[in-house]
């Protein structure tokens, strides 16, 4: 199994039109984190797109390029590229450029986005939410496969026999479909024979088993080799030397994030009791290294996934503690998980 990290670059908003000191510091920290992840042998590091004051990453490709310049082996991806509200041509060019910088280590996770700020920001109608993603994914995949493109759709000016440059060092940019639990998304990923990543953030992992089965059934129905499908699971993650230490260090950041997001979505404020329940029975991978190994392996037994992506939640957690969690993940957790999953193949 491949082991990786996902981040959305949480920050304490600067609240200013310039002199964005907090944002600058957070970008420096992100680059330090990805450099360490590479050094401890993790497989992938992903930057997620948001357009909110509490997240610093709105252009994952730029941070991917910055990370490419200071790393050697780790694959670099978006945690999500909100394909619905970007131009597929320009997005491809950005990822292809980053791929050239990295020496062929770039991937993209395409999604519709769990927040909606990008739609009014870039002039798109939320009523077209599904149609936008379907059309733009189709266009991106065509550009990814062909140097010279002819294409026509409903939401963008047509292209007639034009080249899209630069081309990546890889034969194609690997494109994953990021999903949160919508059956139509699983069907689409399977039918297109694309890798799929599921973000499991609140419900018990076992509830997603039918969703994964639907993904594989759709791929088989479309004539694809199910044994070659790639599946990733992403869950929020933090580890420390002891289980209690991990819980105490992580909870303030987690509580703040979930309560803040919950205000937009009508959720009740997060409590310590809910947090502990999610640690014990839900998807949270928060504890000591052995607990992290056990939780990741439990998910592997359910899904047979080929990748696990640890979603970091930073918030109030000290940067030095985040770095320690990454170190423990790469040196204590990843080798054991790789060995155990290899033995089960």
In this structure, how many other beta carbons lie within 10 angstroms of the beta carbon of residue 101?
19
Is the previous residue joined to 166 through a cis bond, with omega within 30 degrees of 0? yes
pLDDT at 40: 98
- Band the pLDDT of 36: cuts 50, 70, 90: very high
Backbone angles phi, psi at 308, to 5 degrees: -120, 130
Per the structure, the count of domains in the chain is 1
- pLDDT at residue 263 greater than cutoff 80: no
The answer to whether 285 touches 295, Cβ cutoff 8 Å, is yes
Structural domain range at position 22 = 2-343
Range 91-98 average pLDDT = 98
What CATH number does residue 191 fall under? 3.20.20.30
- Band the pLDDT of 115: cuts 50, 70, 90: confident
pLDDT at 35: 98
- With 0-12 CB in 10 A as exposed, 13-18 as middle and 19+ as buried, what is 199? buried
Range 266-283 average pLDDT = 90
Helices 129-145 & 88-102, crossing angle to 10 degrees?
A: 50
In this structure, how many other beta carbons lie within 10 angstroms of the beta carbon of residue 154?
8
User: To the nearest whole number, what is the mean pLDDT of the chain?
Assistant: 95
- Exposure string for 3-12, b = 16+ CB within 10 A, e = fewer: bbbbbbbbbe
Range 219-238 average pLDDT = 97
pTM of the shown model: 0.95
pLDDT at 326: 98
Identify the residue whose tokens are 């052995």: 290
- pLDDT at residue 110 greater than cutoff 90: yes
- Band the pLDDT of 66: cuts 50, 70, 90: very high
Measured CA to CA, the distance from residue 218 to residue 211 in angstroms comes to: 11
Reported in sequence order, the residue ranges of 145-230 that DSSP labels E, i.e. its strands, are 148-151, 159-163, 175-179, 196-199
- pLDDT at residue 267 greater than cutoff 90: no
Nearest 5 degrees, angle CA 71-CA 36-CA 169? 20
**What does the pLDDT look like over 153-198, one tens digit per residue?**
999 999 999 999 999 999 999 999 999 878 989 999 999 999 999 9
């Amino acid at each position: 199994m491949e082991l990786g990290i996902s981040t959305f670059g949480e920050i304490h908003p600067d609240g200013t039109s310039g002199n964005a000191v907090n944002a600058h510091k957070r970008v420096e920290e992100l680059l330090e984190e990805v450099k360490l992840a590479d050094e401890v042998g993790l497989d992938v590091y992903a930057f997620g797109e948001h357009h909110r004051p509490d997240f610093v990453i709105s252009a994952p490709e730029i941070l991917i390029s910055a990370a490419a310049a200071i790393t050697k082996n780790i694959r670099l991806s978006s945690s999500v590229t909100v394909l619905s509200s970007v131009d597929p041509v320009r997005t491809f060019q950005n990822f292809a450029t980053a791929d050239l910088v990295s020496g062929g280590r770039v991937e993209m996770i395409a999604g519709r986005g769990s927040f909606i700020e990008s739609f009014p920001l870039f002039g798109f109608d939320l009523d077209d939410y599904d149609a936008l993603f379907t059309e733009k994914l189709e266009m991106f995949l065509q550009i990814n496969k062909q140097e010279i493109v002819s294409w026509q759709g409903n939401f963008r000016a047509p292209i007639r026999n034009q080249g899209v440059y630069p081309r990546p060092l890889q034969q194609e940019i690997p494109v994953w479909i990021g999903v949160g639990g919508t059956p139509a998304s699983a069907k689409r990923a399977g039918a297109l024979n694309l890798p799929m990543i599921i973000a499991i953030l609140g419900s018990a992992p076992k509830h997603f088993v039918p969703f994964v089965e639907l993904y594989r059934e759709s791929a088989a129905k479309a004539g694809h080799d199910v044994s070659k499908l790639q599946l990733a699971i992403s869950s929020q993650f933090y580890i420390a030397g002891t289980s209690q230490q991990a819980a105490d260090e992580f909870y303030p950041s987690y509580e703040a994030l979930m309560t803040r997001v919950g205000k937009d979505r009508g959720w009740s404020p997060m409590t310590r009791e809910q947090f502990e329940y999610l640690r014990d029975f839900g998807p949270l991978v928060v504890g000591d290294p052995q607990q992290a190994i056990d939780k990741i392996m439990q998910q592997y037994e359910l899904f047979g996934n080929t990748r696990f992506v640890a979603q970091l939640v930073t918030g109030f957690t000290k940067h030095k503690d985040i770095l320690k969690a990454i170190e423990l993940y790469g040196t204590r957790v990843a080798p054991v998980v790789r060995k155990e999953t290899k033995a089960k193949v």
